[in-house]
Structure 1
């Protein structure tokens, strides 16, 4: 079952169960996917849908951070619930050990030796861990490994 099929099924389920929050999040994500599809002029693959989901997740995490800094716990709670719903559609996250292993293998593959090679390493790693690791965490591990 594709991600889009899963979203459609879950949207119907949320309507039946009158889960307003879940329904709003799914509709929002579907809308973003539809907009991306229109922009590209074709149906999106699961990989492209995953990119849209990552973007939605990142936006919500940034909002959550700002709400917490502004001491708006009500909005932070709402955004946190949205993040939990989106997490269900994301692939499972890599553990730190697994991510470190991917970083080490990639550094070896590209022959990186110093921080000057950071761009090459990041360019090679990100497609491998797409949707399964946070970019800032990957960057942090690459910096540690190259220093």
Structure 2
């Protein structure tokens, strides 16, 4: 089932259950996906493209959450946390730090990296493998740790 079909089904369910907040987030996700398809001139997005859109939406919400917390806006903090939870339902299951560490070690071996100077090569090889499943800053930290040993 494509992501758009899943969103449509979940939107119908949210309408039936009168979940206004969830419905609002689902509509926003659907609109973001459709806008991206129009921008790329496609009728349907690939799974990678859908993941990119979802990641962007999730990142925007996390950034907003940080801003609202800094501004002391408790009402918006709660609303944004709820939105983040809904968006995460459609993201792939995130990798654990242990799983990510294994991927980092394998990639360092594949690339033949031996120092921090090879960091760009390693990051370039890892990021497509973990796209949407791991935070870039965590990947960066793990790669730095492994290369400095």
TM-score by length of 2: 0.96
1:134 is aligned to 135
Question: What is the RMSD computed on CA atoms of the aligned residues?
Answer: 0.8
1:104-144: CA deviations, max 9, x gaps?
10111111111111111111111111111111111111111
Whole-Å separation in 2 of the counterparts to 1:140 and 1:61: 20
Runs of 4 or more off by more than 2 Å in structure 1? none
TM-score by length of 1: 0.97
Q: What stretches of structure 2 of length at least 5 have no aligned partner? A: none
1:52 is aligned to 53
1:111 is aligned to 112
1:77 is aligned to 78
Whole-Å separation in 2 of the counterparts to 1:14 and 1:47: 26
1:20 is aligned to 20
How many equivalent residue pairs? 147
Whole-Å separation in 2 of the counterparts to 1:137 and 1:16: 40
